[in-house]
């Protein structure tokens, strides 16, 4: 047993306990392992322990790992902010994009998704905390964006994703997650079938599960604490 597989088991146990505590069926939540900053070897270790879906935030770093692990049928999710000059790499290498918040980017992905691949699964990122610095579409703009994205070829609108502001206030976090679930219900009532609510990270995924998350994105609790970029660079220089 290594640390990553122990951690995966512990996270799966926490997910199961959270589901049981709120009366949701076992298996109602899937786990996305967020591997940003960690090498392909760690992804391989998690794969060997049974983990199948992985998230990346940085396009180039993600593509490097996807290429290194091309022999494994991993489900790769791009969960970082999307830049216009990177959409082609994302459309060519990933099977999901979770941070979509502009029609322009969706249109680019639709054009750039290679015809031999299945449609690209997309989640719209919703900004429920109102932080100006954060990506995501405002709640009252989600429906028109969702309707426009749903009409695009080569994309499959799967649901909503959110990253609330960092907070120790559990009631506040639950309120944010609940708002996204209610938005999802609203979109479904408007005729958009959505099966994914991507919310919850290492420190708050139990709260998100209580509020209806179907996909939790967990990095630190699986791979350990990330080293800040500057420090990582210095360590690399020492080798």
Task: Give the footprint of ligand PLP on residues 172-231 (CB under 6 A).
Answer: 201-203, 217-221
Please tell me whether residue 12 binds ligand PLP under the rule CB under 6 A. Answer: no
Say how many Å lie between the first and final Cα of the chain, rounded. Answer: 28
| Shortest Å distance, C-beta 218 to ligand PLP | 5
* Size of residue set near ligand PLP by CB under 6 A: 13
Of the pair 55, 238, the CB lying nearest ligand PLP is at: 55
Q: What character string, x for contact with ligand PLP (CB under 6 A) and - otherwise, covers 57-96?
A: x---------------------x-----------------
Task: Give the footprint of ligand PLP on residues 22-41 (CB under 6 A).
Answer: 34, 36
- 226 φ, ψ to 5°? -75, 140
- 65 φ, ψ to 5°? -70, -40
Of the pair 52, 203, the CB lying nearest ligand PLP is at: 203
Of the pair 79, 183, the CB lying nearest ligand PLP is at: 79
- 138 φ, ψ to 5°? -65, 145
Of the pair 132, 189, the CB lying nearest ligand PLP is at: 132
Of the pair 125, 210, the CB lying nearest ligand PLP is at: 125
Residues that bind ligand PLP (CB under 6 A): 34, 36, 57, 79, 163, 201-203, 217-221
């Amino acid at each position: 047993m290594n640390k990553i597989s122990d951690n995966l088991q512990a996270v799966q146990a926490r997910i199961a306990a959270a589901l049981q505590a709120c009366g949701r069926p076992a298996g109602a939540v899937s786990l996305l392992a967020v591997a940003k900053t960690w090498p392909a070897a760690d992804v391989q270790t998690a794969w060997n322990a049974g983990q199948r879906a992985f998230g990346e935030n940085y396009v180039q770093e993600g593509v490097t790992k996807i290429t290194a692990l091309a022999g494994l049928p991993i489900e790769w999710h791009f969960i970082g902010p999307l830049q216009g000059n990177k959409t082609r790499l994302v459309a060519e290498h990933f099977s999901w994009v979770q941070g979509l918040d502009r029609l322009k980017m969706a249109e680019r992905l639709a054009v750039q998704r290679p015809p031999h691949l299945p449609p690209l699964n997309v989640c719209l990122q919703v900004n429920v905390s109102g932080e100006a610095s954060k990506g995501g579409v405002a709640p009252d703009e989600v429906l028109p964006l969702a309707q426009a994205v749903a009409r695009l070829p080569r994309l499959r609108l799967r649901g909503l994703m959110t990253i609330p502001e960092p907070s120790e206030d559990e009631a506040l976090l639950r309120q944010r997650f609940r708002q996204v679930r209610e938005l999802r219900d609203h979109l479904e009532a408007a005729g958009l079938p959505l099966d994914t609510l991507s919310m919850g990270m290492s420190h708050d995924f139990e709260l998100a599960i209580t509020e209806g998350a179907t996909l939790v994105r967990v990095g630190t609790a699986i791979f350990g604490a990330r080293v800040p970029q500057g420090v990582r660079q210095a360590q690399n220089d020492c080798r």
